[in-house]
């Protein structure tokens, strides 16, 4: 179980004031719901973040065992298709209400058929996406899943299992809906991000079909 998912970003407001960054608007917290994750035996989960510097060739070895600041997570969200069209102010608010955790290899992050209650964003590590027990894809840092659950609450369409230690950021569905009430214009921006994902998936399928015809 991801206990109340991770950690609050304490000290971020003071950090932003020192750097001259305006604090994000206050959003009333609904009752916090729990996201259930099956931890690996003998590998207790822990709240952890790290400084991410993708420009370094040895970035994976440069992890710092601490919670990423709201500023760092805000910048990372700009590289995620789903949130790329949001304003920086909106991303800062989203980051403020995301929770982070480090989970061990073998952890089931989401399970096919279960109720969807949160979006997961991989900050570090990798995972396997499986349907009916068969692996259909592997994903790494920057990948996210569970976004459809934020919109329709339908059961999970696939299982995602960590293939190595992973650091994830989690956004619960209740908080997501609270944010949309505060920022209704964000709905169109998120839909544009989802459309970009669908378009990319369609192009990949078209490319695979073309390749299969050429090989036939």
Question: Tens digits of per-residue pLDDT, 152-169?
Answer: 777 888 999 999 999 999
State the residue range of the domain holding 164.
12-215
How crowded is residue 105: how many other Cβ atoms within 10 Å of its Cβ? Answer: 15
* Residue 200 lies inside a defined structural domain of this protein: yes
How crowded is residue 50: how many other Cβ atoms within 10 Å of its Cβ? Answer: 20
Number of domains observed in the structure of the chain: 1
What strands lie across the sheet with 144-145, from one edge to the other?
99-103, 166-172, 118-124, 144-145
* Residue 4 lies inside a defined structural domain of this protein: no
Question: Tens digits of per-residue pLDDT, 115-150?
Answer: 888 989 999 999 999 999 999 999 999 888 888 777
Query: Per-residue confidence at 105, pLDDT binned at 50, 70, 90?
Result: very high
Residues 70/166/51/120 CA torsion (nearest 10 deg): -20
The angle at the Cα of 151, spanning 69 to 168, to the nearest 5 degrees, equals: 30
Rg over alpha carbons for the chain, rounded to the nearest Å, is 18
Residues 178, 155: Cα–Cα separation, whole Å:
21
Do 24 and 15 touch, CB atoms closer than 8 A?
no
* Residue 122 lies inside a defined structural domain of this protein: yes
Give every CB contact of residue 215 below 8 A, 6+ residues apart in sequence: none
Residues 167, 188: Cα–Cα separation, whole Å:
29
Q: Which two tokens stand for residue 76?
A: 């990372």
* Residue 131 lies inside a defined structural domain of this protein: yes
* Residue 6 lies inside a defined structural domain of this protein: no
CATH number where 77 lies: 2.60.120.10
* Residue 2 lies inside a defined structural domain of this protein: no
* Residue 207 lies inside a defined structural domain of this protein: yes
Question: Tens digits of per-residue pLDDT, 13-67?
Answer: 444 444 444 554 544 544 433 344 433 333 333 323 333 333 333 333 334 334 5
* Residue 5 lies inside a defined structural domain of this protein: no
Model confidence, pTM: 0.62
Residue corresponding to tokens 């015809």: 213
């Amino acid at each position: 179980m991801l206990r109340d998912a991770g950690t609050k970003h304490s000290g971020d407001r003071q950090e932003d004031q020192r750097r001259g960054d305006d604090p994000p608007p206050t959003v009333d917290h609904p009752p916090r719901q729990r996201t259930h994750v099956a931890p690996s035996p003998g590998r207790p989960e822990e709240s952890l973040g790290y400084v991410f510097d993708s420009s370094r060739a040895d970035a994976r070895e440069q992890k710092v065992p601490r919670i990423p600041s709201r500023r760092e997570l805000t910048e990372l969200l700009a590289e995620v298709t789903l949130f790329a069209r949001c304003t920086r102010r909106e991303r800062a608010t989203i980051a403020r209400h995301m929770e982070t955790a480090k989970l061990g290899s073998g952890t089931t992050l989401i399970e096919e058929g279960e109720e969807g209650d949160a979006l997961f964003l991989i900050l570090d590590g990798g995972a396997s996406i499986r349907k009916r027990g068969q692996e259909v894809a592997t994903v790494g840092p920057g990948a996210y899943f569970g976004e459809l659950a934020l919109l329709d609450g339908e059961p999970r369409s696939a299982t995602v299992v960590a293939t190595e230690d992973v650091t994830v950021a989690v956004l619960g569905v209740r908080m997501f809906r609270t944010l949309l009430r505060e920022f209704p214009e964000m709905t169109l921006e998120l839909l544009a991000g989802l459309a970009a994902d669908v378009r990319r998936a369609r192009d990949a399928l078209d490319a695979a079909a073309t390749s299969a015809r050429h090989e036939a």
